[in-house]
Structure 1
Amino acid sequence: MSVENTVSDGVSVLVTVVEVCGAVIIAVGAVWAFGTILVIAARRQRVRDFVPVRLTLGRFLALGLEFQLASDVLRTAIAPSFREIGQLAAIAAIRTTLNYVLAREIAEERRQVAERPAVPDAGSPP
């Protein structure tokens, strides 16, 4: 077995590990968010109590997408063809756009949460 094949096999394993890490991060975030939403709904809390859950889920998604992008970059690290480079560019553009939109949305939600005055529920004591 040549050094080139060994390196290629190692990178393939690394790509798989990084992809799995990204998928696990996204899955953990989704499960956590779903569970938290169920708890909030069961307690009949205010709608604005969902905002922190949404922000945290957005962070999980952004981090998971970064891992997925890293795996795509690794995949093309060993003697890429022009076709693979084009695919990487398209995937990177899509994932970068998603991350940008998520980051903007998270920042906007944070700003809105910070600006809201604390108003108690009608049924709760002040």
Structure 2
Amino acid sequence: MPEATSIVEHNVILIVGWVKLGIEVFGATLVTIGVGVAIVHWVRTVRSGKEQDFAQTRLILARYLSLALEFQLGADILGTAVSPSWDHIGKLAAVAIIRTGLNYFLMMEMKAQAPLDNHAAKLESRETSLSGADP
């Protein structure tokens, strides 16, 4: 019966490895999409001739990076769940601390920018209504 257990264990490790790879690829895809969206936003901002405030472009990229970091961390946790050696656990702890720290600072930056965006939208709305563009 130990042979059946080792076959099942081997298959579980194999499946988890593929799932982990899929999650890592998805996280990398999110980073790629985020960079693409941020570049498109930046190009539109530059072409519009408006005041070039790149904070919105940075926030777009930050949102994608934050989400991708969460997926990458999830993939690392999944990988460690099936092969929990002290070496893997130590590496996971280091990676988790780094990724959580990066995510924390990205979130702080997004929260700090949100009130500025709301204020700018209110000013723009007020200017539009004063110019008579809105009925």
Same fold (TM over 0.5): yes
- Where does structure 1 differ by over 6 angstroms across 4 or more consecutive aligned residues? none
Equivalent residue letter for 2:65:
L
Specify the alignment match of 1:72 in structure 2.
Answer: 76
1:1-126 equivalence runs, <5 A: 2-48=7-53, 50-116=54-120, 118=123, 126=131
| Whole-angstrom CA distance in 2 between matches of 1:33 and 1:79 | 37
> Percent of pairs identical after alignment?
35
What is the TM-score of this pair, normalised by structure 2?
0.82
Equivalent residue letter for 2:76:
D
Provide the secondary structure at the position in 2 that maps to 1:47.
Answer: coil
Unmatched segments (≥5 aa) in structure 1? 121-125
| Cα-Cα RMSD | 1.9
| Whole-angstrom CA distance in 1 between matches of 2:70 and 2:89 | 18
Structure with more relative contact order (C-alpha pairs < 8 Å, separation 6 or more)? 1
